[in-house]
């Protein structure tokens, strides 16, 4: 069960990374959106590391 949970978190993490890259590629990236995405990504990374 834990591995499927970790896999789901990794999938979410990858999705946020994709959104972050898309936002950064825009001509005028929104700093607030970037900050929010980075925070979400960090929380997921910490949860993945915790197991």
pTM: 0.86
Tokens coding 51 = 């197991």
Q: Per residue in 25-34, pLDDT tens?
A: 999 999 999 9
Total structural domains within the chain: 1
Q: Per residue in 32-50, pLDDT tens?
A: 999 999 999 999 999 999 8
Q: What range does the domain containing 33 cover?
A: 2-50
Tokens coding 22 = 């898309």
Mean pLDDT of the chain: 94
Q: Are 40 and 2 in contact (CB under 8 A)?
A: no
Local structure of residue 2 (DSSP, 8 states)? H
Q: Per residue in 2-31, pLDDT tens?
A: 689 999 999 999 999 999 999 999 999 999
Q: What is the pLDDT of residue 29?
A: 95
For residues 24 and 27, what is the distance between their CA atoms, to the nearest angstrom? Answer: 8
> Quick count: other Cβ atoms within 10 Å of Cβ 22?
11
């Amino acid at each position: 069960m834990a591995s499927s949970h970790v896999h789901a978190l990794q999938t979410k993490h990858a999705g946020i990374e994709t959104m972050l890259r898309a936002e950064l590629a825009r001509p005028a990236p929104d700093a607030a959106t970037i900050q929010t995405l980075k925070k979400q990504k960090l929380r997921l990374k910490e949860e993945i590391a915790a197991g």
